[in-house]
Amino acid sequence: MMDINNLNAKFSIPGHLSLIELDNQIISLNITNNFADAQISLYGAQIISYTPKNEVDILWLSPNSYFTEGKAIRGGVPVCFPWFGPHPSDQSKPQHGFGRISNWELAETRLTSKDEIEVKLRLQSSPATKSYWPFDFLAEMTFLIGKTLTITLKVTNQSDLPFEYSCALHNYLRVKEIKDCAILGLQDCLYQEDSEKIMHTQKEAKLTINQEVDRNYSNTAGYYSLVDPNHNRTIRIHKTGSLITTVWNPGSQKSQSLKDMPDDGYKNFVCIEAVNALLNTIKLAPGEAHETSTKLELED
Ligand code: BG6
């Protein structure tokens, strides 16, 4: 990886974007424009903060998160790739794939004609990625920081063989008090609880969270709203190129068992993730590509 001075010489945008070194040589991009402030870690290609002007951060970052190679950053929007959850056949491989524990290369930064900032990162297959997953691929993450935040994962098959992968844009959405919030847009959708095989249908128009929730909703494409009365705002979550929506909150007990989360961390976020997994993995022929994208915005 280039050193911080060379990265700044090549990629900084005066008044808008600079690179700094966080703990343990983890490099972050600090971004500011008329719409928002944001921070993106090259490690994990993970946006860890997105704060629209005069607002509280939309993303939650655990105050106890690791910032250490080999461990995932807890919060922001981790990228799960090329599998979601435990590896299907080898439990020794990292949960949620290697994307979130890899150093991604900074490929491009640019100020758009609308004064948004666009950042592109990429991860190319290498001997290290092949020790986990044998294929040649190019994964590209694009972040568009404006009045809305758009995050896109594009995966291209550069192998001679077809391959199949799972992925997630695993957003941690910040709320003040989860028990007071509601998620709208999932009524009549079929879901599977993480540990069960049977499908349920959500009857309620509003999903409220008072205990651990780990649901994979199928055939969900569109947008959802997270109503947070204590922050007096509603976050809208759009997604494209993803048919599964995962809603995750660890609840009190699991929160206490996660070392990188405060005991009461579960009160301050919920994940409403853009996922391709389970019956909706992505299959790519040689040369093909797929984009999974999510857009977060505050309702006016
Ligand atoms: C969610 C999964 O996406 O991520 C949960 O549905 C999992 O089952 C959660 O517990 C957090 O995973 P991790 O590896 O970041 O602790």
Check if the beta carbon of residue 118 is closer than 8 Å to that of residue 108: yes
pLDDT computed for residue 157 by the predictor: 98
Total structural domains within the chain: 1
pLDDT computed for residue 222 by the predictor: 83
Quick check: is 182 in a domain? no
pLDDT computed for residue 164 by the predictor: 98
Quick check: is 104 in a domain? yes
Structural domain that includes position 17: 4-175+212-223+237-298
Quick check: is 32 in a domain? yes
Q: In CATH, what number is assigned to the domain containing residue 111?
A: 2.70.98.10
Ligand 1, atom nearest to 84 Cα: 3
**Ligand 1 contact, 214 CB (< 6 A):** yes
Quick check: is 270 in a domain? yes
Distance CA(198)–CA(222), nearest Å, equals: 24
Is 116 among the catalytic positions?
A: no
DSSP letter assigned to residue 103 = B
Quick check: is 231 in a domain? no
Helix, strand or coil for residue 108? strand
Cα-to-centroid distance, 82 and ligand 1 (Å): 15
Distance of CA 35 to the CA centre of its chain: 21
Ligand 1, atom nearest to 273 Cα: 3
Say if pTM beats, i.e. exceeds, 0.85.
Answer: yes
Helix, strand or coil for residue 180? helix
DSSP, residue by residue, 204-258: -SEE--SS-EEEEESS--EEEEEEETTTTEEEEEEEES--EEEEEE-HHHHHHH-
pLDDT computed for residue 1 by the predictor: 66
Quick check: is 207 in a domain? no
Quick check: is 206 in a domain? no
The residue to mutate among 192, 214, 215, having the most atoms of ligand 1 within 8 angstroms of its beta carbon, is: 214
pLDDT in tens, the chain (300 residues): 679 999 999 999 999 999 999 878 899 999 999 999 999 999 999 999 999 999 999 999 999 999 999 999 999 999 999 999 999 999 999 999 999 999 999 999 999 999 999 999 999 999 999 999 999 999 999 999 999 999 999 999 999 999 999 999 999 999 999 999 999 999 999 999 976 779 999 999 999 999 999 999 999 988 999 999 999 999 999 999 999 999 999 999 999 999 999 999 999 999 999 999 999 999 999 999 999 999 999 998
Q: Which is it for the CA torsion 81, 87, 91, 95, positive or negative?
A: positive
Quick check: is 196 in a domain? no
pLDDT computed for residue 254 by the predictor: 98
Is 291 among the catalytic positions?
A: no
